[in-house]
Amino acid sequence: MNAYVEANKVGKDNMDNALRSMSAVTKGFQQIATETTEFTKKSVEQSAQMFERLAQVRTLDKAIELQSEYARSAYEAWMSQATKMGEIYQEIAREAYRPLESSVQQNQQFAQNVANQTN
């Protein structure tokens, strides 16, 4: 195959793979936005419920106990969400890299073919 034709094919494949990679990143960011929105809504609802319960408390001990329970549950929810977000970011990185990996292999093969033709 002519080196120029092969270079054109490799360039086209590289562009296609770059577009696939960007598509994976875009989908991942959409997922992050959805997860963040859901978590925020849930957090606001839980905060509102806690303040309603806190308004009904008659003793300081009960208020402190309620606040401690809320703080514990909010921390656990936040840690769970942080773990989930970390997993989403890892998946984005894997999915974004996958198309580029084949581009690297194609480029290496192309370079080797050109080097062999010139020798």
pLDDT tens-digit profile of 21-63?
999 999 999 999 999 999 999 999 999 999 999 999 999 999 9
Residue tagged 């408390």 (tokens)? 57
Q: How confident is the model at residue 77 (pLDDT cuts 50, 70, 90)?
A: very high
Task: Name the burial class of residue 72, with classes exposed (0-12), middle (13-18) and buried (19+) by CB atoms within 10 angstroms of its CB.
Answer: exposed
Cα(4)–Cα(75) distance, rounded to whole angstroms? Answer: 59
Cα(12)–Cα(58) distance, rounded to whole angstroms? Answer: 71
| Model confidence, pTM | 0.76
Share of the chain above pLDDT 70, in %: 98
